[in-house]
Amino acid sequence: MLAQQLKAKDRLIVALDVSTLDEARAIVKDLREHVGMFKMGLELFAAAGIALFDMMKQEQINVFFDGKFHDIPNTVAQASRNVTSHGVGMFNVHGSGGSAMLKAAVEARNQAVADYGLSKQPLLIAVTVLTSISGDTLKSELKVNEDVLEHVTGLARLAKDSGLDGVVASAKEAGAVRKSCGEDFLIVTPGIRPQWASTDDQQRIVTPAQALRNGADFLVIGRPITAAKNRSDAVKKVLEEMEFGLE
């Protein structure tokens, strides 16, 4: 199914940015009927390890493993093979790892699907520029002599040319990525904040409706939902904003 045909619920990825499996299970219990996917990242993985994949299977949820692999090609290839074997729906690598690393990840993912007889191939996407990084940080600290938009778009083209399914990018750059990489290239956007939520530590943020209008396919939202007093109410409010953006 093309991402453009997905409903708001299927486009929403809730971040399980917690430190225990019990906390993660509680969030899943509250929200599983309202979202299409849950993101499991380094905070939870560092606490629970591969037990989180067992939880994924027990709870029968679709998971985006936000491991952000960034290493030499062989190491990233083996990590990609291993995470694919667990049956995740999506995982990512850093686009700044270069084409050899990106292609190694794609090849390992594809081979693992065949070797393990998986019925579904996980989506493989590349991280461009973290939404916590501002343009000033990119230039003054990381010494990248491009503005954020140019750098994100360049990494997106590199990811597409290397055979990946899409990228992680701020919705502020989604329109440029869409124009450069086409309609079938997925754009997953973190740094989403509903109109009623605080910005926390994010720099390049937009609302759910704005993100979808800018061309995003999937939205990653964490604290505004998971830290809410009533998570179900919070996610319903987010979905309402998303529906408005899809009109």
Question: In whole angstroms, how far apart are CA 43 and each of 18, 27, 36, 46?
Answer: 6, 15, 21, 5
DSSP secondary structure letter of residue 207:
-
> Which stretch of DSSP H or E encloses residue 219?
strand 218-221
Give the list of residues 6+ apart from residue 31 with CB closer than 8 angstroms, or none.
14, 38, 225, 231, 232, 235
At 227, list the tokens: 């830290």
Give the dihedral of Cα atoms 18, 23, 26, 30; nearest 10 deg: -20
- Give the whole-angstrom CA distance, residue 222 versus residue 8: 16
Which are the catalytic amino acids? 68
Q: Which amino acid is at 174?
A: A
In the chain, the largest separation of any two C-alpha atoms, in whole Å, equals 47
